[in-house]
Amino acid sequence: MGLFTKIFKKNAGEVSSKNVEDFISLTRVYFQSVIASNLGITNIRFVPDVANFKRLFKIPTQGGRLGQAEKAASRKMLMQDYGISDNFFKEIDGSVKKHCRTQNDVQGYLFMYQGFSNDLMMLMGNLMQWKFRMPSIFKGALRSMTEKTVHDVCTKTVWKKDDVHKTAMTVRQYKERLGYSEQWMSEYVYNVVMLAKKEPKKKTTDENKD
């Protein structure tokens, strides 16, 4: 699997290699760290991504409270390696605080967030196919297009394709229930897209067929 290993090759004197898998994994670590810290969770098996992160980077528990040090470390990594804004974390903090008041709320919340993330990226991939092929040098244009498409998803009521309409409505419902803004969605999608563009293309046998 090798989660996080590419990010911190620089620890061995090499250049950091950022990728989609590590970005999404670090985001999950931050989510779970906030939950663990807020609810006073002591069983590390309840937050598996935090457990993996803690083991890989040998992060000591801060003040005897699981999640505190891991939250700070994952936040720092996301900001330094991916340029994530402070507001991105504030929205996660607010959403978790509102929806995860007891440990019984956690699994349902994480399941809902996973559905939100998956449907959002599938929808954006469908709506922005040709735009994703733009050279990475046009970062400003791609960011603007991402923001416009996210805005359409959050406001447009009629779509030509039934499957697109259905997924857009589902994403909008997730957004309202979880409490995330268009800005948060745009930042998340934009970073995944930019990282995906940098990864080598994997050719399959199907691609070579007529």
* Two tokens, residue 50: 């935090």
DSSP conformation class of 204? -
Residue 103 exposure: Cα atoms within 13 Å on the Cβ side: 11
Domain residue ranges in the chain:
1-84, 102-198
- Spatial separation of the C-alpha atoms in residues 145 and 128, rounded to whole Å: 8
pLDDT of residue 27: 96
Per-residue pLDDT of the chain (210 residues; tens, 9 = 90+): 334 444 344 443 333 458 889 999 999 999 999 999 999 999 999 999 999 999 999 999 998 899 999 999 999 999 999 999 999 999 999 999 999 999 999 999 999 999 999 999 999 988 988 666 777 668 888 899 999 999 999 999 999 999 999 999 999 999 999 999 999 999 999 999 888 877 666 544 444 444
pLDDT of residue 118: 94
> What pTM was estimated for this model as a whole?
0.84
Q: b vs e for 163-175, b when ≥16 Cβ sit within 10 Å of the residue's Cβ?
A: eeeebbeebeebb
pLDDT of residue 19: 87
β strands within 82-170, DSSP E:
none
pLDDT of residue 197: 78
* CB count in 10 Å sphere of residue 33: 29
Cβ pair 115, 41 in contact under 8 A: no
